[in-house]
Amino acid sequence: MPAPLFFLPGWGLGRGPLLALAEALGGEIIDLPGYGAAPLIADFYAAADAIAERLPAGATLAGWSLGAQLALTIAARHPAKLGKLLLVAGTASFVQRDGWPDAMPPATLSEFATDIASDAETLLPRFVGGFNRGDLRARAVTRELLQLAEPHPAATTLATGLGWLRDVDLRPLAPRVQAPSLLIHGTADPLMPLAAGKTLAALIPGAQFLAFAECAHAPFISRTADFIAAVRRFRHD
């Protein structure tokens, strides 16, 4: 019997995109702070610690995008909590920094944050379409994600998440991960570039890296059956 499985969603879309995946794998979704009934926690590391408190010892924790950054942080700061770690479209730093070129320019994120604050209803669909560019099934995946997405959270929650993406650099934490880890990445991901995923995998001791060809930022939607099969193998290894 595999360990309990928990999913952390990405920024802006809520738990909806992960519901079918969690059901297929017998997992549970934990809302990010500020989403659903979860209270907003302003500090990224305090948010990760609060999520860790909800996990049983030895759990398998899966995170997508921003959720992957939180999952990585939990694995590094609370090693007893995690039996295995699954990062989907993960990165150590969402924005470019010294020694980390494969990421979004900080000015681009700043401009996006300003636009989201003024018109989230328009910008969120464009954001989803943008992070699917290059996917073999881009239009279908974008349409499905928008149908599955929950109503966006409060503006403060969206801004807090963007602030985390701007500020957090997890390179120092990645080598502290002790749990067996699998990173799944789309080769065409324009938001979290493939090179960033590979570099992050190299920082995590013993991590496996699996690239899904012609997929962008949501490989679990682009190639659902293949994704589920990969996760099942990882859980039962």
Active site residues: 65, 189, 217
* Distance of alpha carbon 35 from alpha carbon 148, whole angstroms: 15
* Crossing angle (nearest 10°) for helices 120-131 and 138-148: 140
What's the rounded Cα separation, in Å, for the pair 14 and 143? 16
Residue 103 φ then ψ, to 5° = -165, 175
**Six-digit token pair at 4?**
């309990």
| CB contact at 8 A, 31 and 14 | yes
CA–CA dist 229, 235 (Å, integer): 10
Residues of the chain by 3-state class (helix, strand, coil), percent to 5:
50, 15, 40
Q: Which of 118, 98, 97, 126 is nearest to 190 (CA)?
A: 126
Alpha-carbon distances of 69 from 46, 47, 156, rounded to whole Å: 13, 11, 20
The torsion angles phi and psi of 50, rounded to 5 degrees, stand at -65, -40
Cα angle 171-66-95, degrees, rounded to a multiple of 5:
55
| DSSP designation for 81 | G
